[in-house]
Amino acid sequence: MILLVVCIAVAASENYCPEVKGECSLSYRINDCCSQNDCPSYAMCCKGRCGYVCKHPSTSPTKGVAIKPGDDCKIGRVYPKTGLEWLFRF
C-alpha cells in the first residue's frame, strides 16, 4: 500500500521539458547547461532550438527533450566537427 502511494506521488510530480518549435539558424550550438545541476532548482536542462537551456518545466506531457546523464555536452559554444581537429592538437 505504501509503495503504491509513493509511485503515485512520484508520477504526479513528474516534470517535462517544453516543446521546441522552429529550427536553429546558427551553425553552432550554445549550451547553457549540461545537467540538471547546472540549472536553478525550479528549472530543467532541456533541449532548446540552438542547444541545451534551463527552462521552466511543464507538468503535462510534451514533446520536449530533457538532457540525460551521459549525453555528449559541453557548456558554451559548440561548433560542428570538421574532421580537421587533429591539426590543432599540439
The secondary structure element, H or E, covering residue 8 is helix 2-12
pLDDT value, residue 80:
86
Residue spans of the domains in the chain: they are 15-78
* Digit-coded pLDDT (tens) for 23-61: 999 999 999 999 999 999 999 999 999 999 999 999 999
Q: How many CB atoms lie within 10 A of CB 57?
A: 18
pTM to 2 decimal places: 0.73
Residue 36, helix vs strand vs coil: helix
DSSP class of 81: P
* Digit-coded pLDDT (tens) for 14-31: 899 999 999 999 999 999
Q: How many CB atoms lie within 10 A of CB 47?
A: 20
